[in-house]
């Protein structure tokens, strides 16, 4: 089905109307109207290629605010020169249908030129929490994320913005940015959505071959192993990390980027688990880089 990008005003899909905008000026005006009418606005920024995880973010947004806006934009500034910007999976037409079906009111689908017009030269940089985990293996990645999210916040001016906890560091970095730059926006984190066998949903799962897909289960298995070790009284971060690394490397096609046991707020490594602690993983399965995380709670499940 070909959807008209510019504006789908009045088109009724499964009983719900969704408007689609491609320009900053138009979407800004629409969001302004919503605020002016006294309605609350929740925003879900995405890079598209929707799976159930994205749809859960939109459903959460639906519950929080009167109106829901999403953006679909594969943001070039958060990809390194050797990363998958060009090949990142895209399905805008399918995404718009799915978004409308879960009750999204507005979709903003800008071009790269609309977001980064000629002459663009401002970046937003968060310092401390970007210096760990993915920040180490993907230099500049979070500068791209914070820059585009700050721009999208300024364009849509939402009351609430919703992010997935699978990208735990991203959620932490955005929360920091919002606080530091006094954005008047509440940031809400939504739990990771998993396939029935435990694999965290990700657009990049589509890169995996069937054998790699099986191997990719090692991420969730290793989170479960660590959780079980903590429930048996293990508290030494090194011991937990070693067990996790061993489990992952026992699966074919895997290469560990990092296994980190760290403070859930500062993301700094901890030696001994005293309170809630983040276990965060990045693992390459074949050429696909996957991330996952969980909170280890020495005092029992939260």
Name the residues annotated as catalytic: 54
What is the chain written as a DSSP string? Answer: -PPPSS--TT-EETTEE-EEE-SHHHHHHHHHHHHHTT--EEEEEE-S---HHHHHHHHHHHHH-SEEEEEE---GGGS-TTSSTTTS---HHHHHHHHHHTT--EEE---HHHHS-TT--------GGGGSTHHHHSTTHHHHHHHHHHHHHHHH--SEEEEETTSHHHHHHHHHHHHHTT---EEEEEPPPB-TTSPBP-GGGGG--HHHHHHTTHHHHHHHHHHHHHHTT--BHHHHHHHHHHHHHTSTTEEEEEEEEE-TTT--B-SB--S-EEEEEEEEETTEEEEEEEEE-TTS--
Q: What residues between 202 and 241 interact with ligand PAF by CB under 6 A?
A: none
Of 17-25, 39-47, 181-189, 278-286, which part binds ligand PAF (CB under 6 A)? 39-47
Query: What does the alpha-carbon distance between residue 167 and residue 117 come to, in Å, rounded to a whole number?
Result: 28
Q: Is 302 exposed, middle or buried (0-12, 13-18, 19+ CB in 10 A)?
A: exposed
Closest approach, Cβ 237 to ligand PAF, in A, equals: 27
Closest approach, Cβ 74 to ligand PAF, in A, equals: 8
Instruction: Decide: is 149 part of the binding site for ligand PAF (CB under 6 A).
Output: yes
Of 2-10, 145-153, 233-241, 273-281, which part binds ligand PAF (CB under 6 A)? 145-153
Of 87-95, 143-151, 182-190, 232-240, which part binds ligand PAF (CB under 6 A)? 143-151
Residue of 45, 103, 158, 189 that binds ligand PAF (CB under 6 A): 45
Instruction: Decide: is 46 part of the binding site for ligand PAF (CB under 6 A).
Output: yes
Q: What residues between 154 and 193 interact with ligand PAF by CB under 6 A?
A: 167, 170
Instruction: Decide: is 260 part of the binding site for ligand PAF (CB under 6 A).
Output: no
- CB 278, CB 297: distance < 8 Å: no
Closest approach, Cβ 247 to ligand PAF, in A, equals: 27
Of 16-24, 45-53, 112-120, 184-192, which part binds ligand PAF (CB under 6 A)? 45-53
* The two structure tokens encoding residue 195: 């396939």
Of 144-152, 175-183, 209-217, 278-286, which part binds ligand PAF (CB under 6 A)? 144-152
Instruction: Decide: is 148 part of the binding site for ligand PAF (CB under 6 A).
Output: yes
Q: Which is nearer to ligand PAF, 170 or 254 (CB)?
A: 170
Q: Which is nearer to ligand PAF, 19 or 167 (CB)?
A: 167
Closest approach, Cβ 107 to ligand PAF, in A, equals: 13
Instruction: Decide: is 47 part of the binding site for ligand PAF (CB under 6 A).
Output: yes
Query: What does the alpha-carbon distance between residue 58 and residue 72 come to, in Å, rounded to a whole number?
Result: 12
Q: How many residues bind ligand PAF (CB under 6 A)?
A: 10
Q: Which residues bind to ligand PAF, rule: CB under 6 A?
A: 45-47, 75, 78, 145, 148-149, 167, 170
């Amino acid at each position: 089905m070909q959807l008209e990008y510019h504006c789908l005003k009045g088109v009724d899909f499964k009983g719900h109307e969704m408007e689609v905008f491609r320009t900053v000026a138009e979407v800004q005006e629409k969001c302004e109207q919503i605020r002016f009418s006294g309605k609350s606005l929740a925003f879900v920024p995405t890079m598209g290629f929707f799976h159930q995880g994205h749809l859960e973010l939109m459903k959460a947004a639906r519950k929080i605010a009167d109106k829901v806006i999403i953006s679909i934009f594969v943001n070039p500034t958060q990809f390194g020169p050797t990363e998958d910007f060009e090949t990142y999976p895209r399905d805008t037409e399918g995404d718009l249908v799915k978004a409308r079906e879960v009750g999204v009111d507005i979709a903003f689908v800008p071009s790269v030129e609309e977001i980064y017009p000629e002459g663009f030269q401002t970046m937003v940089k968060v310092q401390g929490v970007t210096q760990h985990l993915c920040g180490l293996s993907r230099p500049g990645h979070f500068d791209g994320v914070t820059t585009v999210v700050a721009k999208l916040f300024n364009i849509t001016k939402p009351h609430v913005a919703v992010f997935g906890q699978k990208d735990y560091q991203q959620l932490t970095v955005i929360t920091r940015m919002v606080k530091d730059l006094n954005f008047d926006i509440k940031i809400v984190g939504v739990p990771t959505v998993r396939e029935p066998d435990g694999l965290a949903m990700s657009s990049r799962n589509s890169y995996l071959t069937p054998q790699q897909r099986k191997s990719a289960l090692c991420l969730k298995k290793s989170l479960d192993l660590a959780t079980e070790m903590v429930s048996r009284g293990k508290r030494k971060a090194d011991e937990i990390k070693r067990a996790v690394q061993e489990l992952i490397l026992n699966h074919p096609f895997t290469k560990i980027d990092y296994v980190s046991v760290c403070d859930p707020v500062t993301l700094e490594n901890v030696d001994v688990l005293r309170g809630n602690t983040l276990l965060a993983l990045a693992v390459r399965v074949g050429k696909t880089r996957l991330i996952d995380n969980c909170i280890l709670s020495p005092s029992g499940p939260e």
